[in-house]
């Protein structure tokens, strides 16, 4: 029997080396994309007062600088899985990071309209990565979901914390001021684009997200509980990121110290975002973790209500642990409450769409409550109420069950 052999024109390569390098580049790409998910937004918080004074914005309008990205998350989140199905997950993620880069650049243009346009554009790009990264991890690291979720969460929160801490000092040392301080975070997204380039060669034949037009996920009580958890933890995080520096400066703290308090909050969230996903993956249910998160929120907010600056570091550490744990938990819920990769993407899209729409109310509502009452006490009480509802929804989402097909 005759056989015909084709001679490859490509050089032979060691399969183990090739596979190992591909995996290394994939992990590095995930880490770098994660660094772009919060830093462009958290860098705004310490600069809000400077931006307000420079542009003449009200507190309510300034709150839109963090509200608009959340609205962008809400709009794009349910669309992202469909884009991944059409273009491939790798190309869709690349496009998302490119949008973040362009949005950051646009914020540098000396115009209030450009500032808001760039903010919306980077929000659209971040939304794509927010939705697809958990699904990508479930697809490519099915046996290391907790560890990989922890790694990407830590990367995101480390740079979010750095952005909060250095934005104001950097703006004080740049001729371009706050605009230049916001621009430097485009360096991260440019590096992420470069490292992600090799992934554009790959596309899974059946691994892309399939969306059923008759999906029952929107009728699932469990899916809605996860969505509420997603929305309320984001409500708390983005409200604090937006207004904590000004809350503290109104109590006599310097702007630089207030910025570092926000940074301290996020630094303490870093180890939590690594260990909580691992613990969540090992526990039969996650209700105990939900209650622990709730207690951190309550204690932190009560200490902030005291108005005693000496205990502010303790308060922000507690809130940081709470926000870190809550984010790690809800990200794991996308994977623990679903059976398939595409279902995880659907849940992620739903939760982030409705959840971020709910979260978008946060910074604007907190700013509005302050404008109406003239103090931050009522605003912090709103956060306490949100924490209670978070715990109630989290109790259901933490139960060991799956969303039905």
322-338 b/e with 16+ CB inside 10 Å = b?
A: bbbbbbbbbbbbbbbbb
Q: Rounded distance, CA 333 to CA 402, Å?
A: 10
The answer to whether position 372 is within a domain reads yes
Residue 3 domain flag: no
Is 6 contained in some domain? Answer: no
Q: Is residue 15 part of a domain?
A: no
In the prediction, which pLDDT does 213 show? 43
Is the full-model pTM beyond 0.85? Answer: no
Q: 342: domain CATH number?
A: 1.20.1250.20
Quickly list H helices, 174-254: 177-183, 186-196, 221-249
How large is the average pLDDT for residues 78-84? 88
Q: Is residue 403 part of a domain?
A: no
Q: What is the mean pLDDT of residues 68-78?
A: 86
Residue 405 lies in a domain: no
- pLDDT tens string 231-257: 999 899 889 988 898 899 988 888 888
Query: How many distinct structural domains can be found in the chain?
Result: 1
Separation of alpha carbons 179 and 189, rounded Å: 17
Mean pLDDT of 369-380: 92
91 within a domain of the structure (yes/no): yes
Q: Is 234 part of any domain?
A: yes
CA distance 81 to 267: 31
Please give the C-alpha separations between residue 33 and each of 229, 236, 320, 398, in angstroms, as whole numbers.
24, 23, 22, 28
The model's confidence at residue 405, banded by pLDDT at 50, 70 and 90, is low
Query: For residue 350, how many other CB atoms are within 10 A of its CB?
Result: 24
The residue range of the domain holding 192 is 24-397
Average pLDDT, the chain: 86
Query: What's the rounded mean pLDDT across residues 86-115?
Result: 93
Percent of the chain with pLDDT over 70: 92
Give the range among 178-182, 226-230, 261-265 with minimum mean pLDDT. Answer: 261-265
Is it the case that residue 2 has pLDDT exceeding 80? no
pLDDT value of position 85: 84
């Amino acid at each position: 029997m005759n056989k015909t052999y084709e001679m490859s024109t490509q050089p032979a390569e060691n399969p183990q080396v090739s596979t190992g390098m591909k995996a290394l580049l994939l992990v590095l790409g995930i880490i770098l994309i994660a660094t772009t998910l919060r830093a462009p937004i958290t860098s705004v918080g310490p600069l809000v007062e400077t931006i307000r004074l420079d542009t003449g914005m009200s507190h309510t309008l300034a709150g839109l600088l963090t509200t608009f990205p959340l609205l962008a998350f809400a709009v794009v989140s349910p669309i992202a899985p469909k884009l991944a199905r059409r273009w491939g997950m790798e190309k869709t993620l690349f496009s998302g990071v490119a949008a973040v880069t362009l949005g950051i650049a646009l914020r540098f243009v000396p115009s209030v309209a450009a500032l808001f346009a760039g903010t919306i554009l980077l929000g659209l790009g971040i939304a794509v990565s927010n939705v697809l990264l958990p699904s990508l991890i479930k697809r490519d690291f099915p046996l290391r979901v907790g560890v990989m979720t922890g790694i990407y969460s830590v990367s995101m929160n480390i740079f979010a914390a750095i952005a909060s801490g250095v934005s104001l000092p950097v703006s004080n040392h740049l001729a371009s001021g706050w605009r230049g301080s916001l621009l430097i975070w485009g360096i991260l997204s440019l590096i992420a684009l470069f490292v992600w380039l090799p992934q554009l060669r790959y596309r899974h034949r059946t691994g892309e997200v399939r969306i059923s037009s008759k999906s029952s996920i929107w009728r699932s009580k469990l899916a809605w509980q996860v969505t509420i958890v997603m929305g309320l933890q984001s409500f708390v995080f983005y409200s604090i990121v937006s207004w904590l520096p000004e809350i503290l400066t109104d109590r006599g703290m310097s702007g630089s110290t207030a910025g570092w308090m926000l940074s301290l909050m996020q630094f303490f969230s870093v180890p939590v975002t690594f260990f909580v996903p691992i613990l969540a993956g090992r526990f039969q249910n996650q209700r105990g973790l939900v209650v622990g998160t709730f207690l951190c929120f309550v204690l932190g907010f009560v200490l902030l209500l005291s108005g005693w600056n000496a205990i502010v570091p303790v308060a922000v550490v507690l809130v940081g642990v709470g926000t870190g744990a809550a984010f790690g938990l809800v990200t794991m819920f996308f994977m623990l409450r679903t059976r398939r990769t595409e279902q995880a993407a659907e849940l992620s899209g739903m939760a982030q769409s409705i959840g971020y729409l709910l979260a978008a109310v946060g910074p604007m509502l907190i700013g509005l409550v302050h404008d109406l009452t003239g103090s931050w006490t009522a605003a912090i009480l709103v956060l306490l109420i949100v924490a209670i509802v978070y715990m109630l929804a989290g109790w259901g989402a933490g139960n060991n069950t799956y969303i039905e097909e």
